[in-house]
Amino acid sequence: MSITVALLFWGKVRGPQPVRTLSRIVMIMFCQVTAVLMVFVMVNNANLIYGNWDDLLGTGDHVRAVPSVPPVDPAGNAQNGQSGDGKQAPKVLQKFGGVNDPAVPGDVQKTELKGQVSGVDGEVLVWLPPQYNDPAFKDKKFPVVELIPGYPGSSSTWYGTLKVSEQLKPLMQQGKVAPFILVSPRTLLLGSHQDAGCTDIPGKINADAWITRDVPQMVMDNFRADPSSDRWAIAGYSAGAHCAAKLSLAHPNRYRAGIAMSGYNDPASEPDSLVGKDPKLREANNPVNILKTAQQPPKVALLVSGAKGDGYEDGQAIAAAAKDPTKIQVEESTGPHTTDMWKRMVPSAFEWLTGIIPVQ
């Protein structure tokens, strides 16, 4: 379109020669800018990197407040569902609608959640397995997997680009993969191109509590989700793999397993990470250090995959620090750091996960 406009007006420019030359240079630049924007939009639509213009421009901010996060109880259970005085809090009942994105399957639901523990607000996408609405399973509670995208990344990427629900649905119907409820929360929470790194950062954001407390509570309040940590897992790729590894190891009260594809251990590996810029947070949020400082080894199984130089060595470091009952499986992958590779890994990763959280 821009080229057509330029050709249409190319010979109609009037005025002195310098004015005509400048006008034609502007036309050429306009064509180049629109071409670059068109390619960017096409790439973004194909990979669902940014969910909206606010995410792209860094003008979005999903932090309503930064309250003090209540601790877990002495038994190691998160105090989800309880108010500050220990009384049962009201259920977080949500309205769900479509995603309205042609790249995302129509059976994926979306809700806007106001995090009661974290003070974070954002969308959460949920997909229900084929057995969920089968009358034979009406009294059944289902296992859950939280899906974390890379940075930057959209809550739609797992469904639209990695095709997680489309790939797993037939495997669930065949009994090869457990009927997991798949949940993908927003993780791009701060403006100015800052990565919260799935971490509670004092005075800044409670990104950890958003993922591990508010989102699970909402899922349990609105769906027949199994509340037992033995039936929950978290999976991620790239920066999301870092989140999946550290959150599963740090919260065995919430997750039984994790899947980390092409991740990293050092938060500073992501230049925009606020955690990587803080020495204490950087050390505390390294999965290796989480294992080394744990009061007791977490009962968590973690699948780490990555190419050499892209997550494989990080997985080996986690495995070297692990002690029973922590189980770390490290697999070497081949291929570039792209969604195409992670998409291919989805079926086998979830078959592995079904060995940890089996069909019931």
Mean pLDDT of 300-325: 98
Is residue 301 over pLDDT 80?
yes
pLDDT, tens digit, 9 for 90 and up, residues 203-257:
999 999 999 999 999 999 999 999 999 999 999 999 999 999 999 999 999 999 9
pLDDT, tens digit, 9 for 90 and up, residues 170-200:
999 999 999 999 999 999 999 878 999 999 9
Residue 12 confidence (pLDDT): 63
Residue 194 confidence (pLDDT): 96
**Which residues, other chains included, contact 150 with Cβ-Cβ below 8 Å and sequence gap of 6+?**
157, 236, 237, 238, 239, 240, 241
Residue 25 confidence (pLDDT): 76
Residue 74 confidence (pLDDT): 45
Is residue 52 over pLDDT 50?
yes
350 contacts 181 by C-beta, under 8 angstroms: no
Tokens of 115: 């995090």
Residue 330 confidence (pLDDT): 98
Is residue 41 over pLDDT 50?
no
**Which residues, other chains included, contact 191 with Cβ-Cβ below 8 Å and sequence gap of 6+?**
54, 58, 59, 60, 61
| Structure-token match 């590894």, residue found | 245
- CA distances to 28, 177, 217, 241 from 9, rounded to whole Å, are 12, 60, 60, 51
**Which residues, other chains included, contact 147 with Cβ-Cβ below 8 Å and sequence gap of 6+?**
158, 164, 182, 183, 184, 234, 235, 236, 240
| Structure-token match 């744990």, residue found | 294
Is residue 39 over pLDDT 50?
no
Residue closest to 293 by CA, chosen among 280, 310, 274, 275:
280
Residue closest to 328 by CA, chosen among 244, 202, 218:
244
Residue 54 confidence (pLDDT): 62
339 contacts 314 by C-beta, under 8 angstroms: no
E strands of 284-334, at which residues? 301-306, 327-332
Question: 37-46, 145-154, 201-210, 251-260 — which is least confidently predicted?
Answer: 37-46
Q: Cis omega (within 30 of 0) on the bond before 325?
A: yes
* Rg of the chain taking only CA atoms, in angstroms: 23
**Which residues, other chains included, contact 26 with Cβ-Cβ below 8 Å and sequence gap of 6+?**
none
Distance between CA 308 and CA 313 in Å, rounded?
7
**What share of the chain in percent tops pLDDT 70?**
81
Per-residue pLDDT band for 42 (boundaries 50, 70, 90) equals: very low
Other C-beta atoms within 10 Å of 16: how many? 8
271 contacts 287 by C-beta, under 8 angstroms: no
Question: 14-28, 222-236, 304-318 — which is least confidently predicted?
Answer: 14-28
Find residue 70's DSSP bridge partners.
none
Phi then psi for 46, rounded to 5 degrees?
-75, -35
Residue 90 confidence (pLDDT): 85
Residue 77 confidence (pLDDT): 46
Q: Which residue has the higher pLDDT, 94 or 31?
A: 94
Average per-residue pLDDT for the chain? 88
Is residue 7 over pLDDT 70?
no
**What share of the chain in percent tops pLDDT 90?**
76
